[in-house]
Structure 1
Amino acid sequence: MTTPLSAVAPELRAKVRRMPRLPLDRAWVRRLIRAGTGRMRPPSLPDVAVELHPGLRVYRPRTPRSDRTLLWIHGGGLVIGGAAQDDRFCAGTARELGITVVSAEYRLAPEDPYPAALDDCHAAWTWLRGHVAAERVVVGGQSAGGGLAAALVQRLHDEGERPRAQWLFCPMLDDRTAARRALDDVGHRVWDNRLNRFGWRAYLGTEPGAPVVPLYAVPARRDDLAGLPEAWIGVGDIDLFHGEAAEYARRLRAAGVATTFHVVPGGPHGFEAWAPSAEFSRRYLAAARAWLGRLR
C-alpha cells in the first residue's frame, strides 16, 4: 500500500508519481547515487560567491546584509547525499537573506556509522567558530541533516556552546519510528519506513528501537531539552517524520524553548528539495526564510 496520490498536494502529484523507490540497502545503488552527487559542481551566480574548503562549501552574498551565519547539514537518510545537492537551496538562502551559509560534508553509514557524521558536523562548527561568534550562528538541516543538526545543538549545549537557533526541515529525529512495523504498511511517499529502518540500522549499527542508544545518536531520546536554542521545525502532514517532529516540537515547548512548528498539508518528505520550483514549495521556503530573517 502507498499513501494515496489524492493526499499529496495537487502541484506535486505529477512529480511524486514518477519518483522511484530506491533500494538503498544495496551497496551498488548507494555508490551510484554518491558518485552522481560527487560530480555536481557549484553554481555560477552573479550575486553569491561559492568557496570550496575541505569538508565544507561556503556561500557568501556579494552584498551581505547581516553577520548571521547558517551552518547547514544535508539530508540523505544518513546513507547517501552530499553538500553539493543543496547548492541551489544554500545559495538562494544566502542571496535572499544576505547571510553567509556554510554547508557541511559528513561521512555516511553503514561504512562510517555513528559518531562519524556528527563528528564531521562538529568539525564544521569548530571551523565556523574561528570566524564568527556562536550566538550569530543558526544550525539547520533537512531530513537526516535535520536530525544531525538537532543532535549537534544538543552536544554543543552540553559543551557550553550556544548557537542562536535551530532550523529543522522534516528532521529525522527518532529511531523508534523505524521500529514501528505497522508504519511499513502506510507506504509513505519518497521516504518510507523500510528505508527509514535501513538508514537508522546503518547509522546505529543495531536494530532501531533498542532500549539504549549512544549519547547524541538519536535527538528525540534526550530526556532534558531545557536550555536548547529557539527552534523552527517544518514538515508535511503526510511525511513519515510528521509524528516525531510534532512530538519533538511539543517537548521543546514544554521545556520552555521557543518553538515554531510549521505543518504543510499535502507535503511529502523533502518536497522543497525535489520540487523547488513549484509554487507550493516556494511558499513554504518563503515562510521558513522569513522566520530565519527575523532572528536578531
Structure 2
Amino acid sequence: MAEGLPGEPEPDLTAGGRVRVEERQIPGPYGAPDITVLILKPTSAPSPVAGIYYIHGGGMVMGTRRNGVESLVSYAAEGLATVVSVEYRLAPENPHPAPVQDSYAGLVWTAQNAEALGIAPKHLLIAGTSAGGGLAASTALMARDLSYPVLSHQILIAPMLDDRLETPSSQMLDEAGLWDREENRMGWTALLGSHRGESEVSPYAAAARAEDLSGLPRTYLDCGSSETFRDEALDYAHRLSAAGVSVDLHMWGGGFHSFDSIAPEAQVSQTSWAVRDAFIRRALTERPPIHT
C-alpha cells in the first residue's frame, strides 16, 4: 500500500469501469463532524465479498482518503473486495483522540452497512500504511476492546506505533531518507502535544503502549531494515506472536520508509509487493478465522 507522490497523475480508480467509485458523508464520532469515506465497489460480484477498511498515511498531519488507495483497486476490480478508505481529521489542528475516533467511527459504519456495501459481515480486514498503519493497529485494539466489529485480519505496512522514540531505529536517521527522527518527533508531537513520551499515553494513540495484544486478528506486518519504524514494528510483531496472534512478519533488507513506492523498479520493492499481495489475496479468499 504505497503512498502517492506529489505531482503524480491521478490513478484510474475505476479500473476501466470494473470498479464503482463513490464518496459519502457518514456520521463521525458523537459530537464531532461527519467524515468522508471513499468506496471502491466491484461493478459485478457473484456474492458478498470481503471488505478492506483502509487508513491512509501521512505522519498524522497530512494525506487524504485517496492517498495509497490505488494499490487496492485491483482487489475490487477482480471482484475480491469492497474497499472503504476513511478521511480522518489531522493533527495538530485535531490532536488525539480525533484521528483514531474518526477511524473507528468509519469502521463501525462499514460493518453496520456491510450488506449494502456487498461485504460479507464476518470478513472485514483493516489495513494502513505508516501513520495509517499505526491508526489501523489502534483501531483494531479499540474494536477488540469494544467487541465490535470482529476483524479477520490486520495489515500493517511500516506502521507508526511508538511515540517514545527510544529505539535505535527511531534515533538512527538524521536528515537522511524519508521520515527521519525529527520528522517523527514532529508527527507525534502534533498528535500528542506535551504528552508525547509520557507514561499515560493511550494505546489508542500509540499502539505500542498496549500491554495486552491477545485477541487481535491475524496480522501481516512489514517494514524496511533502514527506516525509523523498524524496531517498533519488529517488537510489535514479536509481542503479537507471544500473545497467540498469527503473524506474518517481513523486514526488507536495505528498505527505507516507503521504498516500495519511491523505487518501485527495485527488486526488493517488487518482491515486497508480491509477498504482500499473496497474503492479501489469501486473506480475501479464504474462510475468515474464528476468534474466541
Q: TM-score normalised to the size of structure 1?
A: 0.80
Match of 1:116 in 2: 98
Q: State how many pairs are aligned.
A: 262
| Per-residue deviation, residues 146-186 of structure 1 (Å, max 9, x unmatched) | 00000000000011122111000000001112687981655
Distance in 2 (CA, whole Å) between partners of 1:141 and 1:181 is: 21
**Higher helix content, 1 or 2:** 1
| Per-residue deviation, residues 101-132 of structure 1 (Å, max 9, x unmatched) | 11111010000000111111112112211232
Aligned amino acid, residue 135 of structure 1:
K
**Higher strand content, 1 or 2:** 2
Q: 1:97 to 1:204 in 2, by over 3 A?
A: farther
Which residue, out of 67, 75, 80, partners 2:62? 80
Which residue, out of 37, 41, 45, partners 1:64? 45
Q: 1:59 to 1:272 in 2, by over 3 A?
A: farther
Structure 1 vs Structure 2 CA RMSD: 2.6
Which residue, out of 74, 96, 99, partners 2:81? 99
Report which stretch shifted further, 88-97 or 51-60. 88-97
Distance in 1 (CA, whole Å) between partners of 2:74 and 2:169 is: 38
Q: What is the deviation of 1:276?
A: 4.2
> Residues 72 and 139 of structure 1 are in contact (CA less than 8 Å); yes or no, is this contact kept in structure 2?
yes
> Residues 49 and 59 of structure 1 are in contact (CA less than 8 Å); yes or no, is this contact kept in structure 2?
yes
Aligned amino acid, residue 273 of structure 2:
L
- The question of 1:267 aligning with 2:255 is answered yes
Match of 1:45 in 2: 15
Match of 1:243 in 2: 231
Aligned amino acid, residue 57 of structure 1:
L
Structure 2: gaps of 5 or more residues: 26-35, 115-119, 288-292
Report which stretch shifted further, 236-245 or 133-142. 133-142
Q: What is the deviation of 1:68?
A: 0.8
> Residues 83 and 103 of structure 1 are in contact (CA less than 8 Å); yes or no, is this contact kept in structure 2?
yes
Q: Percent identity?
A: 36
> Residues 178 and 209 of structure 1 are in contact (CA less than 8 Å); yes or no, is this contact kept in structure 2?
no
Q: 1:204 to 1:182 in 2, by over 3 A?
A: closer
Q: 1:69 to 1:44 in 2, by over 3 A?
A: closer
Aligned amino acid, residue 151 of structure 1:
S
Distance in 1 (CA, whole Å) between partners of 2:185 and 2:135 is: 17
Q: 1:277 to 1:85 in 2, by over 3 A?
A: farther
Q: 1:247 to 1:187 in 2, by over 3 A?
A: farther
Q: 1:41 to 1:289 in 2, by over 3 A?
A: closer
Distance in 2 (CA, whole Å) between partners of 1:217 and 1:137 is: 22
> Residues 169 and 230 of structure 2 are in contact (CA less than 8 Å); yes or no, is this contact kept in structure 1?
no
- The question of 1:145 aligning with 2:145 is answered no
Q: 1:252 to 1:194 in 2, by over 3 A?
A: same
Match of 2:222 in 1: 234
Q: What is the deviation of 1:277?
A: 5.5
Aligned amino acid, residue 51 of structure 1:
E
Q: TM-score normalised to the size of structure 2?
A: 0.81
- The question of 1:136 aligning with 2:123 is answered yes
